Structure 1
Amino acid sequence: MNEVTDAFVAVAGGVSCSREHNVRNLVLTRRGPDDLNGIVEWEVMSVGSSRVAERIRRPHWSLARTWLLQPGLPGGGDAFDSAAAGRADIVVLDIEDGLPDSQKADGRQAVAEYLGTGGRAWVRINCVSTPAWSADLDALAQTPGLAGVMLAKTEGADDVAATAARLPEGTPVVALVESALGLESAADIARTPGCGRIAFGVGDFRRDTGMSDDPTVLAYARARLVVASRAAQLPAPIDGPTLRTAANRLARETAVAKAAGMSGRLCLDPAHAETINSLLSPSPMEIDEARRTLAQLDAPAGPYDGSVGPTKARAEAVLALAAKLGLD
């Protein structure tokens, strides 16, 4: 721990903790009856030169909507803190495509130092087929602030298994599917112990396959990832990002992801996080509609046919998600 500077108390679902240390992050979790889907994560962060403690409520990674890819730049500690204090549910320090090859060694060291001195974040590491993969894990695996790993260009179950074997037990791996081979292996990837979620690397997938960015063209790929995730009892997958230069498409592309059954998105611009979080959460209208639906179906004289069970389950799922995100 660092120097004693202040005392704070964080409370989450009846769980409280008090410490007298200057730390960037304190994470408290509460498990509900449905295990991971019931976890609420609180972070108490001291951010910036003033080291002022801020209380920020974020959903657990299994429910996270916005995954901000923050370049893991050398000397980037202040930028990492700024990203952590923003609206994104998850910050992913990117030492794969977020850095040119010439900066990867220094960036890796900067991220390791950040995670070893009170910072907390996920890290996107290089793919298994590169020497950088092993170097990334050597530098990062034992840092206390490593929240999870996003594995670039995952192409098979062995990629996830090899990565998980190098990490402390219980460290989640998000498998980033970015190629035709990865898509064909999606079901096996999702079932691999250690795989926490699947993400869709749209840009590299399009480069590999020659497909356009038309949602109709990519619907098959998204559906494959959604079905693979559901069959493996994983949370819904994470869709690719909207480019910084295409902010006018942000809402439309987020709506496509939601309609496809995805519950998160990668994010390249911190300014996109608020819109993504809002659109991937149940809206007030959806919550009200779900409540009305349940009231009608639960009424003594309510209608009953083969549609009641699925309709009721969908309404209950909307309300359950709203509760977990603190929207009820």
Structure 2
Amino acid sequence: MSFDLGPALLFCPADRPDRYRKAADRADAVILDLEDALLPANRARARGLLVGHPLDPNRTIVRVNPVGTPDFALDLDALDETMYRYVMVPKTVSAAELEALARFEVIALCETATGVLAAPSIAAAPNVVALMWGADDLVASLGGSSSRFADGSYRAVARHARSAVLLAAGAHGKAAVDGVFLAIPDLAGLTAEVDDAVASGFRATACIHPSQVGVIRDAYRPAPAEVAAAWAILEAAAGEEGVFAYQGRMVDAPLLRHAEAVLRRAEVIPPGLDQPPTEATD
């Protein structure tokens, strides 16, 4: 199993079928939300709408309710009446609880203290294709009141969790999805955050408003100058044995993998490079 969605994943409340198609048309994939986007009283109706208004299953994720809740069992019953195979599981705390979703491709949300600490074992679960993290639920699980400072930057505990989830996903060859940016008008802040996500190795970013999709796509799509520079480094490496100097800079194997990653995001794959780079061993 693999994660071939993204880079812009747009949440849509599952009780708003009038928005389903619009969200699907504007983003790379839509996340139909049966959990936090709804009032609990609306979930039963939302499940019926989910079944009655199908979207492309290759570009649709359904966020169910947490495993073990009454709503979770009802969500699975509804999913069995659809063609959807991507399921986002909120507040995931262990790999064992995902066994109930063995027939699905799971995006596990590590958004509690327990879930973040268990991220490595969750990422190892065979039906997990990606990990995502959530700052605000995490801070709530700790008894805190805010995941960000007044300037919009993350507090230290949120930065730690973000990195921990990214590392856990990468260690097991799974994709990492960055969390949402809630300040919708602050596109500059979103740009900075997504630029960091791309440079750090996230494969996609979730968002809550269509205006954020273009910013996310632009950040994940390398600029022509980046693509040209990546090609130049790889061409300079041809015939070299080991580390070499290029334009006054030392180039070694990790920098070549950085260049390859740029070309993958640009969907320009160098000949003979059919698979993502494996984790380096020292």
TM-score normalised to structure 1 length: 0.71
2:273 is aligned to none
Cα deviation per residue 1:251-278 (whole Å; 9 max; x = unaligned)?
A: 1221232243222111100111011011
Q: 1:200 aligns with which of 121, 133, 146?
A: 133
Alignment-derived partner of residue 182 in structure 2: 243
RCO higher in structure (CA 8 A, sep ≥6):
2
CA contact (8 A) 2:123 2:174 kept: yes
Which deviations, in whole Å up to 9, do the C-alpha atoms of 1:238-263 show, x marking residues without a partner? 11111154434211221232243222
Measured after TM superposition, the shift of residue 304 of structure 1 is 2.5
Equivalent AA in structure 2 for residue 143 of structure 1 = T
Higher share in strand: 1
User: Aligned to 2:14, which of 72, 96, 117?
Assistant: 72
Which residue among 147, 150, 163 is the counterpart of 2:88? 150
Q: How far does the alpha carbon of each residue in 1:117-172 deviate from its partner, in whole angstroms, 9 at most, with x for none?
A: x654221000013110000001112412x1411111111112222222xx3xxx31
Deviation for aligned residue 1:302: 10
Aligned residue for 1:311?
Answer: 255
Give the 5 Å matches for 1:1-328.
Answer: 36=2, 60-61=4-5, 64-73=6-15, 76-86=16-26, 88-115=27-54, 120=57, 121-144=60-83, 146-164=84-102, 167=103, 171-209=104-142, 210=144, 212-213=147-148, 214-215=153-154, 217=156, 218-235=158-175, 237-248=176-187, 249-298=189-238, 304=244, 307-323=251-267
Verify the 8 A CA contact 2:242 2:252 in the aligned structure 1.
no
Task: Report the 3-state secondary structure (helix = DSSP H, G, I; strand = E; otherwise coil) of the residue aligned with 2:91.
Answer: coil
> Quick one: structure 1 residues 276 and 262, their matched pair in 2 at CA, closer, same or farther if it must change by over 3 Å?
same
Instruction: Please give the alpha-carbon distance, in whole angstroms, between the structure 2 residues aligned to 1:301 and 1:162.
Output: 49
- Is the Cα–Cα contact under 8 Å of residues 293 and 312 in structure 1 kept in the other structure? yes
| CA offset digits 1:165-223 (Å, max 9, x no partner) | xx3xxx31100111000000000100011101001112211222336323361322122
Counterpart CA distance in 1 for 2:242 and 2:173 is 32
One-letter code of the match for 1:265?
T
Asked if 2 retains the 8 angstrom alpha-carbon contact of 1:222 and 1:260, the reply is: no
Q: Percent identity?
A: 30
Cα distance change of structure 1 residues 215 and 320 upon mapping to structure 2, 3 Å threshold: same
One-letter amino acid of the structure 1 residue matched with residue 66 of structure 2:
C
Please report how far the alpha carbon of residue 281 of structure 1 lies from its aligned counterpart in structure 2 after TM superposition. Answer: 2.4
Please state whether the residue corresponding to 2:11 is helix, strand or coil: strand
Q: How much does 1:108 deviate?
A: 1.2
Tell me the distance in 1 between the aligned counterparts of 2:29 and 2:179.
Answer: 14
Give the aligned residue type for 2:169.
Answer: S
Q: Provide closer, same or farther for how the CA distance between residues 253 and 309 of structure 1 changes in structure 2, counting only shifts above 3 A.
A: closer
Contact 1:175 1:199 in 2 (8 A): yes
Structure 2: gaps (5+ residues): 270-282
Counterparts of 1:302 and 1:226, CA distance in 2: 29
CA distance in 1 between counterparts of 2:22 and 2:9 reads 15
Flag the 1:274–1:163 CA change in 2: closer, same or farther, 3 A: same
Give the residue type in structure 2 aligned to 1:219.
Answer: R
Q: Does the Cα contact within 8 Å between 1:123 and 1:148 map onto a contact in 2?
A: yes
Q: TM-score, normalised by structure 2?
A: 0.82
The residue identity in structure 2 corresponding to 1:65 is P
> Is contact 1:244–1:269 with CA below 8 Å preserved after alignment?
no
Per-residue deviation, 1:102: 1.1
CA distance in structure 2 between the partners assigned to 1:220 and 1:302 by the alignment: 34
CA RMSD of aligned residues (A): 2.4
